[in-house]
Structure 1
Amino acid sequence: MQTSPRVALVTGASSGIGEATALRLLRAGFVVYGVARRVDRMQGLADQGVHVFGMDLTDEASMTAGIERIVAEQGRLDVLVNNAGYGAYGAVEEVAIDEARRQFEVNLFGLARLTQLAIPVMREQGSGRIINISSIGAVIYEPFGAWYHATKFAVDGFSDSLRVEVRRFGIDVVLVRPGTIRTEWNEIARTSLVETSAAGPYARSARKAARTLEFFDRPAFSSGPDSVARAVESAATARRPRTRYAAGRGGILMPATRRLLPDRVFDAVIGRLFV
Structure 2
Amino acid sequence: MIKVVAITGASNGMGFAAAELFAKKGWIVYGGARRVEKIPVSENIHALKLDVTDHDSNVAFIKQIMATEQGIDVLINNAGYGEYGPVEDTPLDNARRQFETNFFGAADLAQLVLPIMRAQKSGRIINISSIGGDVYMPLGAYYHATKAALQQWSDSLDIEIAPFGVRSLIIQPGGTQSAWSDIAMAHARKNLKTDSVYTRLVDKVSALLTANEHTSGASSRDLAQVFYKAATDERPKRRYFNTLGDRAMVWLARSCPRVFKKVFMWTLIFWGKRAERK
The answer to whether TM tops 0.5 is yes
Aligned length: 268
| 1:212 alignment partner, one of 199, 208, 224 | 208
TM superposition score normalised by structure 1: 0.93
Preserved CA contact (<8 Å) 2:170 2:239: yes
Deviations 1:116-142 (A, max 9, x none): 000000011111111010100011110
Which structure 1 segments of 5+ residues have no match? none
1:256 aligns with 2:256: no
Deviations 1:81-138 (A, max 9, x none): 0000000111001111000000000000000000100000001111111101010001
Structure 2 match to 1:157: 152
**Whole-Å Cα distance in 2 between the matches of residues 175 and 108 of structure 1?**
13
Structure 1 match to 2:108: 113
Return structure 1 stretches of 4+ with deviation > 4 angstroms. Answer: none
**Whole-Å Cα distance in 2 between the matches of residues 87 and 248 of structure 1?**
22
Which structure 2 segments of 5+ residues have no match? 270-278
**Whole-Å Cα distance in 2 between the matches of residues 148 and 225 of structure 1?**
20
| Structural mapping, 1:1-275, within 5 Å | 3=1, 5-42=2-39, 45-47=40-42, 49-197=44-192, 199-218=195-214, 220-248=215-243, 250-261=245-256, 263-274=257-268
**Whole-Å Cα distance in 2 between the matches of residues 249 and 27 of structure 1?**
27
Structure 1 match to 2:272: none
**Whole-Å Cα distance in 1 between the matches of residues 155 and 178 of structure 2?**
27
**Whole-Å Cα distance in 2 between the matches of residues 253 and 239 of structure 1?**
25
Preserved CA contact (<8 Å) 1:179 1:249: no
**Whole-Å Cα distance in 1 between the matches of residues 246 and 24 of structure 2?**
25
Preserved CA contact (<8 Å) 1:35 1:55: yes
**Whole-Å Cα distance in 1 between the matches of residues 76 and 138 of structure 2?**
29
Structure 1 match to 2:274: none
Task: For 1:202, give the aligned amino acid.
Answer: Y
Task: For 1:210, give the aligned amino acid.
Answer: S
